[in-house]
């Protein structure tokens, strides 16, 4: 019984360390991503270890790190994504994973 209780405590401790924030893209400047979650802004540092994924109808697809950062920069420079594009960011102060939703090319 003690082993089970200890395992349960360890599970909740590790789950609590990784926070996921699904929100709306606000800005990306100087490797700092700002996302609006439930009306408040959260900032995450983006580095070379950050994993990027695209979520679509076909499931999750991995995106290379340089292409993910390039996509964030394009979202910032375009100006149209601010306040509209949905992102799911996992991590506390440093983003460990960023998921982009939709935005794929439409097939005719």
Q: Is residue 7 part of a domain?
A: no
Which domain does 35 fall in, by range?
18-101
Report the CATH number that the domain containing residue 32 is assigned in CATH.
Answer: 2.40.50.320
Residue pair 73/27 in contact by the 8 Å Cβ criterion = no
* The model's pTM: 0.72
B/e letters for 85-97, b = 16+ CB within 10 Å, e = fewer, are bbbbbbbeeebbb
Q: pLDDT tens track of the chain, all 108 residues?
A: 777 777 776 666 555 445 667 889 999 999 999 999 888 999 999 999 999 999 888 888 999 999 999 989 988 888 777 788 899 999 888 999 999 987 555 554
Question: How many structural domains are present in the chain?
Answer: 1
């Amino acid at each position: 019984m003690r082993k089970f209780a200890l395992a349960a405590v360890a599970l909740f401790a590790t789950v609590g360390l990784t926070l996921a924030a699904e929100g709306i893209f606000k800005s990306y400047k100087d490797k700092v991503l700002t996302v609006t979650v439930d009306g408040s802004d959260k900032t995450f540092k983006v580095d070379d270890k950050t994993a990027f994924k695209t979520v679509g109808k076909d499931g999750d697809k991995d995106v290379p790190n340089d292409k993910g950062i390039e996509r964030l920069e394009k979202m910032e420079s375009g100006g149209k994504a601010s306040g509209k594009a949905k992102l799911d960011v996992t991590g506390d102060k440093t983003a460990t994973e960023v998921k982009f939703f939709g935005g794929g090319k439409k097939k005719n």
